[in-house]
């Protein structure tokens, strides 16, 4: 039994955890329902996990808080067994779902194309059904059948204790299989996912650096042979920019002259000569003085 001070502290902590568990996972469900962008098969496991955690916050934590605050179980043996069966089942479903999420992410990273072709909506639904059916069958059988399969006596109606707490072998197997093996397996898979992600990131960075160097070399080469391709490392000098500006301005003036010559004289030779002069100017990036000398 706990002291009054400990009971108050545990009750406050249980209430905070219950509210956080319910409200946080409700937001996940609301987002899944309202936002079509997240309503995809990739988030089925997340929704299953959120729904499981909501039930844990509603049932497991609150019934335990009631038992803790009163100091005895007021609801009888049947409700006690139902509560324990649901508590163990929901916690195990949550753990299996996390395990499946880890495997799904691992296969999506290491065998992306083949796994995505294999992972259909129907197969995901089958996996989710398995994650609910197996824990339910296991813990319903264990909790409701324990006193039928063993010689242990059923506790009084005012007590609600886990029936196999004194069974050393069962508790050891449960601890290893329920906690340590999944923990080691999930940790190993996430380490593997991290290593693969780092290796892929390095390959992407190497490819980007190679592409940047190739573009710089191509730009330098094209600029050298006079095709006017500029790169970030080869800006035009001020004299060159001034020359090009003068050339463009004089070209516009000469184009207007060509129009006037065609209008008043109808001569095509002068227009052709000036057009040739302007073309040479653009190709050689000549100055305004060169255009005037060529026209004279």
Query: What is the pTM for the complete model shown?
Result: 0.66
- Report the C-alpha gap between 12 and 6 in whole angstroms: 10
By the 10 Å C-beta count (0-12 exposed, 13-18 middle, 19+ buried), 62 is classed as: middle
Region 208-223 average pLDDT:
70
- Report the C-alpha gap between 85 and 171 in whole angstroms: 16
Q: Using N-to-C axis directions, what is the helix angle for 61-70 and 4-34, rounded to 10°? A: 160
List helix spans (H) across 176-229: 181-224
pLDDT tens column, 6-15: 888 888 888 8
pLDDT tens column, 55-114: 999 999 999 888 888 888 999 999 999 999 999 999 999 999 999 999 988 888 888 888
């Amino acid at each position: 039994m706990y002291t009054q001070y400990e009971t108050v502290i545990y009750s406050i902590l249980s209430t905070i955890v219950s509210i956080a568990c319910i409200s946080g996972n409700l937001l996940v469900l609301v987002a899944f329902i309202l936002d079509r962008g997240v309503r995809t098969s990739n988030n089925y496991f997340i929704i299953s996990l959120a729904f499981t955690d909501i039930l844990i916050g509603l049932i497991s934590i609150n019934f335990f808080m009631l038992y803790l605050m009163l100091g005895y179980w007021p609801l009888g043996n049947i409700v006690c067994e139902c509560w324990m069966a649901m508590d163990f089942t929901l916690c195990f479903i949550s753990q299996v779902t996390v395990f499946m999420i880890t495997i799904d992410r691992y296969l999506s990273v290491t065998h992306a194309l083949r796994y995505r072709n294999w992972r259909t909506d129907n197969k995901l639904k089958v996996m989710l059904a398995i994650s609910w059916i197996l824990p339910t069958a296991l813990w319903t059988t264990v909790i409701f059948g324990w006193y039928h399969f063993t010689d242990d006596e059923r506790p009084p109606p005012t007590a609600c204790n886990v029936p196999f707490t004194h069974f050393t072998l069962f508790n050891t197997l449960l601890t290893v299989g329920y906690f340590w093996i999944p923990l080691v397996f999930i940790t190993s898979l996430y380490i593997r996912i991290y290593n693969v992600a780092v290796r892929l990131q390095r390959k992407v960075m190497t490819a980007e650096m190679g592409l940047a160097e190739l573009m710089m070399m191509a730009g330098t080469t094209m600029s050298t042979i006079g095709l006017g391709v500029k790169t970030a490392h080869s800006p035009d000098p001020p004299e060159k920019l001034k020359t090009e500006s003068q050339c463009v301005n004089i070209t516009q003036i000469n184009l207007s002259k060509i129009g006037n010559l065609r209008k008043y004289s109808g001569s095509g030779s002068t227009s052709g000569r000036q057009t040739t002069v302007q073309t040479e100017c653009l190709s050689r990036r000549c100055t305004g003085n060169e255009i005037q000398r060529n026209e004279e």
